[in-house]
Amino acid sequence: MEAFVLERYGKERALKLADVPTPELREDEVLVEVHAAGVNLIDSKIRDGEFKLILPYKFPLVLGHDVAGVVAKVGPRVRKFKPGDEVYARVDDFRIGTFAEFVPVKEASLALKPKNLAMEEAASVPLVALTAWQALVESANLKKGQKVFIQAGSGGVGTFAIQLAKHLGATVATTTSAGNLELVKGLGADVVIDYKTQDFEQVLRDYDVVLNSQDGKTLEKSLRVLKAGGKLISISGPPTPAFGNEIGAPGFIRLVLRLLSSGIRRRAKARNVLYSFLFMKANGSQLREITRLFEAGVVRPVLDRVVPFEQTNEAMAYVEAGRAKGKVVIKVR
């Protein structure tokens, strides 16, 4: 099969289009013929070597975490899917590889594609939607009447998180540039802050939840907009010892994570705020809940652009530049 392959870590290193063997299927996996693949910032970060301590991949490596496609084959223990089913997923860590013609996916991580979404739309959903779900539903337990601050509202996670938070009945604040004001308002944002001309710390007060996706300076400021008992959930770090335990990291890695996050954990505790780091996980049952929201018209995908398979490197560079409105998707088939 054809795939875009990373031969070794390297900053902005180009992936190489190559013929590689179709992956071996494990007993609990489904082989998906890839029709479209979402592009995420984590793909670039893995390529650059930023996650090599906690996600030690072997080379050559095919990147890509989001897939929409058709079931080509199922393992002997698979019961919920059959060849010909239209499906989508955020594939599992250490089984990534959606920038290819085929990818194996654990049955437990897979869901039937929303009937009302095209393949390209469906491929834009899993990673960002599961991130928002695991942050707002699972971790924050966001309730009707609460206030949530979602940073970078016009980005991939932001566009879905705003819609999900509104569905849950929360008041939503977000940051974006002036050019994306109408987009985020259209998704349901109640308070929109132009990050180029306004300081969110001067505008927001007594929030219940912050979903942080930006740098350390923004993380520090986020503490100060939360009320006592509030929750600061970061998807951009720093990772915590709890995360190290969760992934079964070696002792020295857990020590590094403890040191990296000690400052923010200490300051959060002083303000009676709960800080947590979220590294989202593949989850087919949560994806089925998300499918229902799409099919009911409660949420919609936001696509910046769809590019042909040959332009995979260009798609990654565009996402890295941070200007995408919603998601960028590669059309594989």
Residue 12 reports pLDDT greater than 90: no
- Per-residue pLDDT, 255: 94
State both tokens at 156.
Answer: 């991939």
Query: 128-277 — its CATH code?
Result: 3.40.50.720
Q: Tens digit of pLDDT for each residue in 107-157?
A: 999 999 999 999 999 999 999 999 999 999 999 999 999 999 999 999 999
Q: What is the pLDDT of residue 173?
A: 98
- Mean pLDDT in residue range 25-36: 98
**3-state SS assignment for residue 54:** coil
Domain-wise residue ranges, the chain:
2-125+301-331, 128-277
Q: Does position 206 have pLDDT exceeding 90, yes or no?
A: yes
Tokens of 289: 């809940």
How far apart, in whole angstroms, are the C-alpha atoms of residue 172 and residue 165? 7
Using 50, 70 and 90 to split pLDDT, how confident is the model at 159?
Answer: very high
The pLDDT mean for the chain works out to 97
Q: Is 90 exceeded by the pLDDT of residue 6?
A: yes
pLDDT tier, 263 (very low <50, low <70, confident <90, very high otherwise): very high
d(CA 90, CA 290): 13
Mean pLDDT of 191-202: 97
pLDDT for 53 beyond 90: no
Tell me if 2-125+301-331 shares its fold with 128-277. Answer: no
Q: Which CATH architecture has domain 2-125+301-331?
A: Alpha-Beta Complex (3.90)
Over range 203-214, report the average pLDDT: 98
For 235-282, the DSSP string reads SSS---HHHHHHTT--HHHHHHHHHHHHHHHHHHHHTT-EEEE-----
Task: Tell me: pLDDT of 54 over 90.
Answer: no
